Amino acid sequence: MVHDDYKEMIPARALSALDVAEAQALNEHLENCAECCKELDEWQATAAALALGADPAEPSPKVRERILDDVRKDLSEPHVVPFRATPRNLWSSFGSLGAMAAAVLFTALIVGLIVLWRQNNAIRKDLEQSREFVQLVTSPGAIVTELKATDVAGRASATIAYDRSGHAILLASNLPNVPQGKAYQLWFLVDNASPMPGKTFAPDSNGHGVLKEQVPTEALDSPVFAITLEPAGGSSVPTSPIYLHSISINF
């Protein structure tokens, strides 16, 4: 396809109406075409205006309360702010080398305690996840499926376990690091239907990733699982090559 072919697809893309293969091809083109990106922004404004074609409706006041409750919880948690250099002269502030040494020792002690606390928390979290995974695997009717890596995922591997109710846990290892603003996303495939998007997750610095998910009811009988690299908020259709999959598939 050439540039003009992609350009013609953009109005349908703004309506999320492209079929999977076309959407994937256009998304790849958009990564390298500023003109089409600008065009898409304009078409999305046209599409957004269609929202006004629906009758406005009043949500329950509880929705507003729930949103603001979540926000307040978020605000009450520690928030990382960019470090700002202090204008004070530290040398004169401490007044003596002894005070400096004491401050350095104290800081080292605090840092050490934080490292230990975080390691302890990480170990505890790992144990909890392992325990939960084992419980799931050993529950009646549980199914365990291995996901294999494609060339883009190198030595990555993953296992997903799910029970009859669809409660699922994915454990992945050796995943390549994700670029800023990206995350891995799980997909469910059933027969010839469009891939159904699952949740996103980011691996830790060692390439380990854990995802708790709910397998859609319609995918419970014979699901095929796949993992792609998507924008951190997730995608409605896959936009990257497959990184891992449970059987040989193509989007």
Q: Which residues bind another protein (CB under 8 A)?
A: 8, 11-12, 14-19, 41-60, 62-64, 66-68, 70-72, 74-75, 79, 194, 196-197, 216-218, 233-234, 236
Q: Which is nearer to another protein, 197 or 209 (CB)?
A: 197
Residues near 189 by Cβ (< 8 Å), separated by ≥ 6?
A: 195, 196, 219, 223, 224, 225, 226, 249
Q: Give helix then strand counts, H and E, for the chain.
A: 6, 8
Closest approach, Cβ 83 to another protein, in A, equals 17
Closer CB to another protein, residue 5 or residue 146?
A: 5
Q: Which is nearer to another protein, 2 or 51 (CB)?
A: 51
Place of tokens 């953009």: 10
Report the distance separating Cα 160 and Cα 170, nearest Å: 4
Tokens of 83: 């470090």
* Residue whose CB is less far from another protein, 163 or 230: 230
Q: How far is the CB of 26 from another protein (least distance, A)?
A: 13
Least separation in angstroms between residue 166's CB and another protein is 12
> Do residues 187 and 225 touch, judged by C-beta distance below 8 A?
yes
For residue 212, the minimal CB distance to another protein (Å) is 16
Return the number of the residue (149 or 186) whose C-beta is nearest another protein: 186
The three-class DSSP label of residue 202 is coil
How many residues belong to the chain? Answer: 251
Whole-number minimum distance, CB 217 to another protein, in Å?
8
